[in-house]
Amino acid sequence: MAQAVSIKNLSVIFGKEKQKKEALELLDSHSPLDVRKKTGATVAVKNVDFEIEEGELFVIVGLSGSGKSSFIRTLNLLNRPATGTIEVGGRSLTEMSKDELREYRRNDVSMVFQHFGLLSHRTVLGNVEYPLEVQKVDKEERQERSMDAIKLVGLDGWEHHMPNQLSGGMRQRVGLARALTNDPELLLMDEPYSALDPLIRREMQNELLKLEDEMDRTIIFITHDMNEAFRMGDRIALLKDAELVQLGTPEEFFKNPANQYVKDFIADVDKTRILKVRNIMRKPTAVAKLGDSRETILETLKEKDMQFIYVTDDKRYFKGFITLEKLKKSKAKTIDNLVENDKTQIYRNDYLQDAWGKLSAATFDLPVVDGKGRLRGILNHDNVVDALAK
Amino acid sequence: MFRIMNALLEYPENFTIDVTGPIDRVVDWIGETFRGLLDAFVVFFTFVLDNVQWTLQIIPWWVYILVVGIAGWRLYKWPTGVGLGTLVFAIGLLGYWEGTMYTLTIILVSVMISFVVGLPLGIFMAKSEKFEMILKPILDMMQTLPSFVYLIPALMLFNTFGRVPAVVATTIYAVPPLIRLTYLGIRNVDEQVVEAGTSFGSTSMQMLFKIQIPQALSTIAAGVNQTTMMAVAMVVIASMIGARGVGNDVLRAIQQLDVGTGFAAGFAIVFLAIILDRLLQGIANKLDMTAQEGEDA
């Protein structure tokens, strides 16, 4: 899959220009705390490297002061990195001109803020319209698109209310709708649910997962809550004192915690209720596409020592499976007429508990699909047992 | 020995510099160099003042009572409306209707100039730290310098007695709160709101007109209110350079030790101040979105 965001050797330093320069020289050889003592500059993010995949829900977790907020703010350049490169969709942010940066912010990225950041002098609709208004989209179109976003987050009927007439959860829905109107590739969420009470938070998390499942968007989500991180994330990056401690799927965190700090951090996490199918699913060894030639697929199966293969169409929609036997017997040119479908599939956002019924009976890999029915991975009984045993 | 001791105890008499001469010369120089411009200024503002005054006077007295009464009722509750309407009537009863209209003209024109000059200055001050560093001490000086001091140069520069130098002196005295509160209002806009604006790709003009000014509006309105109150206070002093109106009545009463007239005219000014203050305060409150139903969840 394409890399949506690629971050190399990124550091963020706060302070006066002179302090920053000094800090930069000491950065590699000293801890952030020592740099601060010596120069007075604060190292918020230190030498962070990672790649975020297209369509991924990537969670960054850490305590306050770990640098997670400073980090996410570099992705729309609200913070300028001191060193390092950030590439989004192959374009380097730090090399953008002022105009390019503005276009990038208008079209490709948007942000949801912890304290909502709503314009209190505008109605819900006025807020949601704002990103289109600055682009001078004409009134009719922007109202139509804004209403779509408002409906998407379940606020229709409230569009003419002022933000201060809404509850916290509803205000954050406005924030989310506003971030979706410009249809960004990259959605940045800076502790969006931290200011909400636990019940509402849970509800909002589930809604976001549902939304995320229906759209192709890379989401970067910041939280200080490990439970939230594990419930939401495809992959999780744990930051501590400006540095990356561990990066991986929830499963990998449980399997190989990098150090004692990580162990302590995940100690409170109840994994049976948090691990989802998507967290432990695997990538299929090989997938066939409608229209592929029978010969090629037969070869692939032999080569990889597989008994059957899953089949999708061009857009990754799940179509069924073909067994090795059937391939061997047939004389057809393409595989199209050999596809069988017994409708056994699991949904990637199910918690393991819920998927267990289907999984416990399966000795082979089951297909994992998303809300639209696209093949996202595979999973079998043993994978689940392994994940829970650790 | 004794001489040295003395010099340490008392400030030496001859150890002074004379700044009065240079200041005089600067004022004179300005007056001579920009004569044409200053004269044009006088003509223009006389024209503005005449028109504002003509407008104020053509409106019948009972319309004022009605409009102020209704405004008070809409901005607050009906008792406030009745109260404010009564105060308007009281000014007439005291016999200062004409004088108050004259005074109100000077106040309104001063506030208008203050707004046109003060708002952009406040915005620049919020946007540029350098400009802030320059302007802040000047504002401090404008507010602490005894207000009488403005009168003489205003008189000399414009080479005329009456309303125009009065308006200029009043504006200089009254504009600082508007600049300061505009600056404060824009600086105090919630940081996340500004960040949100940036993150959606606003230009700095869009940021200013769609986010910062609307968010700062109630603070700016409070600035207009304070500026108006300062202008009311300055009006009596400005009558020393020939502005007529209620201020002049107070001044004459002082000169003639006429206690009765002094208080009567004084009350007219107080009533005018209360009416203006309540109305402007009400508008500022209405503009403050965050204050109403501000239940945080």
Whether residues A264 and A349 share a domain: the answer is no
* pLDDT, mean over chain B: 88
Question: Mean per-residue pLDDT for A7-16?
Answer: 89
How many beta-carbon contacts under 8 Å exist across A and B?
80
CA B188 to centroid of chain Cα atoms: 23
For residue B113, which of B32, B206, B234 has the smallest C-alpha distance? B234
Across the interface, whether the CB atoms of A105 and B201 are under 8 A apart is answered yes
Alpha-carbon separation of residue A293 from A319, A335, B286 (angstroms): 16, 6, 72
Across the interface, whether the CB atoms of A111 and B196 are under 8 A apart is answered yes
pLDDT of residue A390: 62
Across the interface, whether the CB atoms of A78 and B195 are under 8 A apart is answered yes
Whether residues A210 and A258 share a domain: the answer is yes
User: Which comes out higher in pLDDT, residue B240 or A221?
Assistant: A221
Across the interface, whether the CB atoms of A135 and B201 are under 8 A apart is answered yes
Site of tokens 């729309």:
A76
- What lies within 8 Å, CB to CB, of A234 at 6+ separation is A56, A57, A58, A249, A278, A279
Which chain B residues contact residue A166 at CB under 8 A?
Answer: 297
- Cα nearest neighbour of A171 on chain B: B297
Q: Is the pLDDT confidence value at B126 over 90?
A: yes
Residue A16 lies in a domain: no
Assign residue A307 the CATH number of its domain.
3.10.580.10
pLDDT of residue B289: 60
Domains, chain B, ordered by start? 20-58+95-291 (1.10.3720.10)
CA distance B205 to chain A (A): 10
Q: Which of A244-253, B7-16, B29-38 has the lowest mean pLDDT?
A: B7-16
Q: Do B178 and B115 contact (CB within 8 A), yes or no?
A: yes
- Give the ipTM: 0.76
- Cα nearest neighbour of B213 on chain A: A121
Q: Which alpha helices (DSSP H) does B200-258 contain, by range? A: 204-206, 213-238, 246-255
Is B188 an interface residue toward A (CB < 8 Å)?
A: no
Whether residues A196 and A292 share a domain: the answer is no
Number of domains chain A is built from: 2
Please provide residue A331's backbone torsions phi and psi, each rounded to the nearest 5 degrees: -120, 5
- Cα nearest neighbour of B190 on chain A: A117
Is B289 an interface residue toward A (CB < 8 Å)?
A: yes
Which chain A residues contact residue B211 at CB under 8 A?
Answer: 119
Across the interface, whether the CB atoms of B289 and A133 are under 8 A apart is answered no
pLDDT of residue A269: 77
Which chain A residues contact residue B295 at CB under 8 A?
Answer: 164
Which chain A residues contact residue B215 at CB under 8 A?
Answer: 119-121
Whether residues A348 and A231 share a domain: the answer is no
| pLDDT tens profile A265-314 | 888 777 766 778 887 888 888 888 888 888 888 888 888 888 889 999 88
| pLDDT tens profile A157-171 | 999 999 999 988 899
Residue A177 lies in a domain: no
Is B211 an interface residue toward A (CB < 8 Å)?
A: yes
Q: Domain boundary at A274, A306, A341, which?
A: A274
pTM of the model: 0.77
Interatomic CA distance for residues A231 and A262, integer angstroms: 17
Q: Is the pLDDT confidence value at B3 over 80?
A: no
Whether residues A253 and A345 share a domain: the answer is no
Which chain A residues contact residue B289 at CB under 8 A?
Answer: 120-121, 162, 164
Residue A74 lies in a domain: yes
Across the interface, whether the CB atoms of B201 and A103 are under 8 A apart is answered yes
CA distance A357 to chain B (A): 40
pLDDT of residue A228: 87
Considering A185-199, A292-306, B175-189, the range whose residues carry the highest mean pLDDT is B175-189
Interatomic CA distance for residues A364 and A369, integer angstroms: 16
Interatomic CA distance for residues A110 and B232, integer angstroms: 49
Whether residues A197 and A332 share a domain: the answer is no
Q: Is the pLDDT confidence value at A18 over 90?
A: no
Whether residues A304 and A361 share a domain: the answer is yes
Residue A265 lies in a domain: yes
- Cα nearest neighbour of B212 on chain A: A119
pLDDT of residue A357: 79
Q: B17 pLDDT band (50/70/90 cuts)?
A: confident
Residue A30 lies in a domain: no
* Residue B230 structure tokens: 């300062």
Residue A132 lies in a domain: no
* Residue B128 structure tokens: 């540029």
Whether residues A246 and A379 share a domain: the answer is no
Is B260 an interface residue toward A (CB < 8 Å)?
A: no
Across the interface, whether the CB atoms of B201 and A102 are under 8 A apart is answered yes
User: Could you please report the per-residue DSSP string of A352-387?
Assistant: HHHHHHHHHH-SSPEEEE-TT-BEEEEE-HHHHHHH
Q: How many CB atoms within 10 Å of residue B137?
A: 9
Across the interface, whether the CB atoms of A120 and B200 are under 8 A apart is answered no
Nearest by CB to residue A117, choosing from B195, B201, B297, is B195
Assign residue A57 the CATH number of its domain.
3.40.50.300
CA distance B127 to chain A (A): 17
User: Which comes out higher in pLDDT, residue B206 or A272?
Assistant: B206
Which chain B residues contact residue A122 at CB under 8 A?
Answer: 214
Whether residues A211 and A343 share a domain: the answer is no
Across the interface, whether the CB atoms of A105 and B190 are under 8 A apart is answered no
Q: Do A55 and A218 contact (CB within 8 A), yes or no?
A: yes
Across the interface, whether the CB atoms of B294 and A103 are under 8 A apart is answered no
Handedness of CA B211, B212, B217, B218 (dihedral sign): positive
Question: Mean per-residue pLDDT for A124-131?
Answer: 94
* Residue A329 structure tokens: 């017997």
Q: Domain boundary at A274, A303, A333, which?
A: A274
Q: Domain boundary at A274, A304, A329, which?
A: A274
For residue A312, which of A297, A332, A298, A327 has the smallest C-alpha distance? A297
Residue A252 lies in a domain: yes
Question: Mean per-residue pLDDT for B114-135?
Answer: 94
Nearest by CB to residue B193, choosing from A117, A133, A162, is A117
Residue A176 lies in a domain: no
Q: Is the pLDDT confidence value at A243 over 60?
A: yes
- What lies within 8 Å, CB to CB, of B25 at 6+ separation is none
In percent, the amount of chain A with pLDDT more than 70 equals 98
Whether residues A301 and A247 share a domain: the answer is no
Q: In A, what residues contact B, Cβ < 8 A? A: 76, 78, 102-107, 109-111, 113-122, 130-131, 133-135, 162, 164-169, 171, 178, 182
- Cα nearest neighbour of A103 on chain B: B201
Which chain A residues contact residue B209 at CB under 8 A?
Answer: none
Longest dimension (CA), chain A: 75
Q: B27 pLDDT band (50/70/90 cuts)?
A: confident
CA A197 to centroid of chain Cα atoms: 23
Q: Is the pLDDT confidence value at B296 over 70?
A: no
Handedness of CA A322, A327, A331, A335 (dihedral sign): positive
Which chain A residues contact residue B201 at CB under 8 A?
Answer: 102-107, 131, 134-135
pLDDT of residue A2: 47
Q: How many CB atoms within 10 Å of residue A16?
A: 11
Q: Is the pLDDT confidence value at B110 over 90?
A: yes
Interatomic CA distance for residues A367 and A287, integer angstroms: 11
CA distance A303 to chain B (A): 50
Across the interface, whether the CB atoms of B200 and A164 are under 8 A apart is answered no
Whether residues A252 and A210 share a domain: the answer is yes
Whether residues A219 and A305 share a domain: the answer is no
Q: Which domain does A362 fall in, by range?
A: 287-389
* Buried b or exposed e, range B263-296, using 16+ CB within 10 angstroms: ebbbbbbebbbebbebbbebbbeebbbeeeeeee
For residue B186, which of B207, B201, B165, B158 has the smallest C-alpha distance? B207
Across the interface, whether the CB atoms of A162 and B289 are under 8 A apart is answered yes
